[in-house]
Structure 1
Amino acid sequence: MNYHKLLEQVKDYVLNYYKAHDTTNFHYHNAEHTEDVVTAAAKIANHYQLNDHDYFIVTAAAWFHDLGYMVSITNHEDEGIKIATTFFKEHQLDDEDIKLIAGCITATKMPQSPITLLEQIICDADLYNLGTDNFFKKDKKLLKEYNVLHNADMTKTEWWTKTVKFLEAQYYHTDYAKLLLNDTKEKNLQELKDRLARNEEDEPVEAPAIVQEPSTPLAVAEAEEEQGKKKKKDKGKDKNKPDKGIETMFRISSSNHQRLSDMADRKAHIMITVNSIILSAIISLVLRRLDAYGYLIVPSFILLTVSLIAMTFSILSTRPSIPKGTFTLDDVNEKRVNLLFFGNFYKMKLEDFNYGMQKMMQEKDFLYGSLIRDLYAQGVVLGRKYHLLRVAYNVFMFGLIVSVLAFIVAFIFFNHQLPEVAHVKNK
C-alpha cells in the first residue's frame, strides 16, 4: 500500500468536500482548523518516529475527524467515520486500518477517551491550540460559531466561564504535548480568569449577516489594546526569567537524548546476549570435537572471532566514562563549568557546589550556557555510543554471513575427512 499517495488523495478529497459545502457559519470547524490539526498530528507523530502505517492512520483520521460537521453538528464524529469508511472502501484500504482510523476519530469525542498512542496523538492534536498563543483568536471564532449554529446569544463572560471549566478539566495525553503545551495552556487559563475577574462588558457575538454593528469592532479593539498593554507589563516584569518556550525546548531535547540513550543500551544488551550464547555454544559444543571434525576449525574460529569482536564493541558502547569531578572558582566565575552533570562536581565540597549553583541560577546566560553544554555533551556521548554500536552490528552481520558461508564450504568440500578420522579411531 502506497500510504503517501493515498494520503494525498485524502487531502484532496477532504478539501474539495469542504469547498462543495456551505461553510459560511462554520467560523471554527472548517478546512483551516482541519489543516491545523493535521499539522499538529504530523508534528507529534514525527516526534514519536511512527512508521509509515501508523503515521498514515493518525493523519488520515485528522483529515476526517471534523468533516462530519458538514452533515450534522450534534453527532459529527460518527458522520465523519461514515464518510471516511466510504472513501477508504472505495480505495480498497484494509478493514483493520479503517477500524483504526475510526477508533482515532471516536477518541476525540468529548470527554476524550484515547487508549492507544495513535488515539492520544490525534486527541492532543485536536486541542493543540489550547496551549498556543493563538488560543484567544481561535476561542473567539468558536464562540461566534456557537452563537450562529445554535441560534444563541451567549456573552463573552458566559463563554469564558464555560471555557475556564473546560481548560481546568482538560489535559494532554502524550508526553510531547505535556512538555510543549502545558505551560502556555496554563498561561491562557490564567488570562481567562483575569478577564472574568475584571468583569469585562457582557456582549454577545453577532451572526455574520449583522456586520454594521459599530460596537463590536470597537469592543474588540479595546480588548486587544488592553491585552497588549498587559502583555508588555508582564514582559517588563519577567524579562529576567527564563522563557517558557526555551525551557520546553531544553526539556524535550534532553528527553529525546535520554530516550535515544536507552534505545542504544537496549541494542547493546541484545548484541551482548546473542553473542554470549554463540560463544558458549562454540566453546562447549564445537571446540571439544574439533579433533574429530577438523574441517570445521576455520569456520568455527571465524564465528568465534566475529562474536568476540561484536561483543567487545557492544560493551565499549555501554562502558561509562567519568570526568575528574572537580572545578575551580574561576570556572564558575568565567561560566565555563557545567554543574548540571554530576561528573563535573562529584568530588567537590558542598559549599563550593552550592556557590556555583546559586551563581548559575542568578545569571540567565550562565544557566542557558550550562544547559547548552549539557545538551552538547549528551549528543557527543550518543554519537560515540551509536558509532560503536554500528561497528558491532556491522561486524556481527557481515561476520555471520562469512561464517555461514565458511561452514557451507567446509561441509561441501572437506566433509570427506570425517570418515577417515573415524576409521583411524576404530583402528
Structure 2
Amino acid sequence: MQYKELLDQLRAHIVNLFQTKNDERFIYHNLQHTEQVVQNVIRIADHYQLSERDHFVVVAASWFHDLGYLFDCRQHEAKGAELAAEFLKDKALPEDIILDVKGCIMATKMPQQPEGLLQQIVCDADLFHLGSDSFKVRNKLMRMEVEAFCDKQIDKAEWRTKTIGLFKTHHYHTDFCQNLLNSKKAENLAEMEGKEGKGKSKPQPEKKVELIEEKSKMTEKPKRGIETMFRISSTNHQRLSDMADNKAHIMISTNSIILSVILSLLLRKLEDNPHLIIPTLLLLIICVITMVFSILATRPSIPEGLFTTEDIKEKKVNLLFFGNFYRMSLEDYKNGMNKMMDDRDFLYGSLIKDVYSQGVVLGRKYRLLRIAYSVFMFGIIAAVLAFIIASAVVTL
C-alpha cells in the first residue's frame, strides 16, 4: 500500500479545509498547530521505529485530530474522527486502519486515557508543548482563542490556575516523552506556581495584545530569519564547493592531456632533438605540480567519525557533519540529535560550526586551486618561451 502517497493526499485535503473554512478566531487551533503536532508525532514514531502501517495511522490521526474545531468545537474529537473515516473510506483503506485512526483521535479527548502505544503517541504529541520552550507563547495564544470565542476577557490569574490544574492532572504516556519533556514541564509548572498569588494587576486588553505581538516578534521572526540565514549560507558554500571541484577537474583533465602528449610524442623525439630536453622537462614538471595541487584541493579529509556522551553534554561535537558520526550506531546518533534539537544553543551552535567548517574547507580548496592555476599559468608561459628559445638557438 502506498502510505506515503496517501499521506500527501491527506495533507493536501487538510490544508484545503483549513483554508476554505478559515476563522480568524482560531488563534491556537489552526493549521500551524496541526502541523506542529504532526511533526511531534513523526518524531516520537521514529523513535519507536513503527511499521509503515502504524506510522500511517498516527500521522493520519494527527492531521485530523483538531479538524473538528472547524465544524463543532464542543465535540471536535468525534467530528474529527468522523471526517477521518469518510476520507479514508473514500481511499478504500481497510476497516482496521480506519478504526485505529479514529481511536487515536478520540484518545486526545480530555482527560486523556489512551490505550496502546499508537494512541499514547498521538496524545503526547498533542500536548508536547507543555514540556517545551514554546509553552508560554502557545498558552497565551490558547487564552486569546478562548476569549475570542467567549467574547469576553479572561482573568490572567484565573487562567493560570486552570493551567496549573491541567499540568497536575496531565502526564506523558510514552517513555520517550517522559524522558524528554518532564524536566521542562516541571520548570514551566514551577514558574506558574511562583507567579500564583502575587496579585499582579491585570494588563489592559491593548497591553495584552501588544505583549503577544512583541513576543511573536521576538520568537518567530528572528527565528525564521536566523534559519534563513543559515540555509542561504550553507547553500552558497555548497555552490562554491561545487565550483571549486569543477575547476580542479578542469585542471586535472587539461594537464592529463598535456602529459599524455608529452609521454607519447615528445619523449620519443628527444634523442633526435636534444635541445628540447629542458623545455620538455620544464613542461612535464609544471603539469605534475599543477595536477598535485588540483588533486589536493579535492582530496577529502575525514575525521574519526566518533563522538562521546561528554562531547554531547559539553556541546563540542557538530552532529550535522557526517564525518563526526559515520562510525556511530543509529541509536547513539538519534539520542545525540534529539538532545541537540531540544537545546536551542546547542542547535544554533552546531549550525554555526557547520557553516564555519564549510568556510574553512572552502578556504583550503581555493588556496590550493590558486596555487595550481598560478603554477599552470606562469609555467606554461615559461615552457613556451623555453621551446621558442631552444628552437631559436638551434636555428642560429
User: Which bin holds the TM-score, normalised by the shorter protein?
Assistant: 0.5 to 0.7
Alignment CA distance shift 1:74-1:156 (3 Å) = same
Alignment CA distance shift 1:186-1:83 (3 Å) = same
Task: Report the equivalent of 1:46.
Answer: 46
Query: Aligned letter for 1:108?
Result: T
**Cα distance between partner residues in 2 of 1:223 and 1:196:** 21
Whether the 8 Å CA contact 1:29–1:66 is kept in 2: the answer is yes
1:112-151 to structure 2, matched below 5 A, reads: 112-151=112-151
Task: Report the equivalent of 2:91.
Answer: 91
Alignment CA distance shift 1:204-1:115 (3 Å) = farther
Whether the 8 Å CA contact 2:61–2:102 is kept in 1: the answer is yes
**Cα distance between partner residues in 1 of 2:64 and 2:174:** 21
Task: Report the equivalent of 1:108.
Answer: 108
**Cα distance between partner residues in 2 of 1:6 and 1:366:** 38
Farther off after superposition, 141-150 or 187-196:
187-196
**Cα distance between partner residues in 2 of 1:365 and 1:34:** 35
Aligned residues: 238
Whether the 8 Å CA contact 2:137–2:215 is kept in 1: the answer is no
Query: Aligned letter for 1:198?
Result: K
**Cα distance between partner residues in 2 of 1:222 and 1:125:** 27
**Cα distance between partner residues in 1 of 2:179 and 2:34:** 23
Displacement of 1:169 in angstroms is 1.1
% identity of equivalent residues? 37
Alignment CA distance shift 1:76-1:204 (3 Å) = farther
Displacement of 1:156 in angstroms is 1.2
Whether the 8 Å CA contact 1:68–1:78 is kept in 2: the answer is yes
1:175-190 to structure 2, matched below 5 A, reads: 175-190=175-190
Alignment CA distance shift 1:90-1:223 (3 Å) = closer
The CA deviation string for residues 331-389 of structure 1, in whole angstroms up to 9 with x for no partner, is xxxxxxx9x9xxxxxxxxxxxxxxxxxxxxxxx999869xxxxxx9x968x99xxxxxx
Query: Aligned letter for 1:94?
Result: P
Task: Report the equivalent of 2:82.
Answer: 82
**Cα distance between partner residues in 1 of 2:186 and 2:83:** 36
Displacement of 1:221 in angstroms is 8.5
Alignment CA distance shift 1:222-1:157 (3 Å) = farther
Whether the 8 Å CA contact 1:155–1:203 is kept in 2: the answer is no
**Cα distance between partner residues in 2 of 1:223 and 1:10:** 33
Task: Report the equivalent of 1:66.
Answer: 66
Q: Which blocks of at least 5 consecutive residues in structure 1 are unaligned?
A: 206-212, 229-337, 341-363, 370-375, 384-427
Displacement of 1:23 in angstroms is 2.0
1:20 matches 2:20: yes
Displacement of 1:201 in angstroms is 1.9
Query: Aligned letter for 2:208?
Result: T
Query: Aligned letter for 2:47?
Result: H
Displacement of 1:95 in angstroms is 1.1
Alignment CA distance shift 1:4-1:220 (3 Å) = closer
Q: Which blocks of at least 5 consecutive residues in structure 2 are unaligned?
A: 220-307, 316-324, 333-396
Task: Report the equivalent of 1:2.
Answer: 2
Task: Report the equivalent of 1:154.
Answer: 154
Query: Aligned letter for 1:173?
Result: H
1:174 matches 2:166: no
Displacement of 1:216 in angstroms is 3.1
Whether the 8 Å CA contact 1:154–1:204 is kept in 2: the answer is no
1:22-421 to structure 2, matched below 5 A, reads: 22-203=22-203, 213=206, 215-217=207-209
Whether the 8 Å CA contact 1:29–1:69 is kept in 2: the answer is yes
Displacement of 1:136 in angstroms is 0.5
**Cα distance between partner residues in 2 of 1:143 and 1:50:** 35
Displacement of 1:57 in angstroms is 0.1
Alignment CA distance shift 1:87-1:223 (3 Å) = closer
Alignment CA distance shift 1:223-1:86 (3 Å) = closer
Alignment CA distance shift 1:76-1:218 (3 Å) = closer
TM-score, structure 1 normalization = 0.50
Q: CA RMSD in A?
A: 3.5
Query: Aligned letter for 1:142?
Result: M
Displacement of 1:36 in angstroms is 0.3
Query: Aligned letter for 2:182?
Result: N
The CA deviation string for residues 242-273 of structure 1, in whole angstroms up to 9 with x for no partner, is xxxxxxxxxxxxxxxxxxxxxxxxxxxxxxxx
Whether the 8 Å CA contact 1:143–1:159 is kept in 2: the answer is yes
**Cα distance between partner residues in 2 of 1:366 and 1:16:** 42
Displacement of 1:139 in angstroms is 0.4
Alignment CA distance shift 1:128-1:365 (3 Å) = closer
**Cα distance between partner residues in 1 of 2:193 and 2:143:** 17
Query: Aligned letter for 1:93?
Result: L
Displacement of 1:123 in angstroms is 0.3
The CA deviation string for residues 118-172 of structure 1, in whole angstroms up to 9 with x for no partner, is 0000000000011111001000000000111123321111101110111111100
**Cα distance between partner residues in 2 of 1:100 and 1:30:** 24
**Cα distance between partner residues in 2 of 1:116 and 1:169:** 20
Whether the 8 Å CA contact 1:153–1:204 is kept in 2: the answer is no
Whether the 8 Å CA contact 1:161–1:196 is kept in 2: the answer is yes
**Cα distance between partner residues in 2 of 1:6 and 1:14:** 12
Whether the 8 Å CA contact 2:140–2:212 is kept in 1: the answer is no
**Cα distance between partner residues in 2 of 1:88 and 1:220:** 38
Query: Aligned letter for 1:182?
Result: N
Secondary structure of 2:173 counterpart = coil
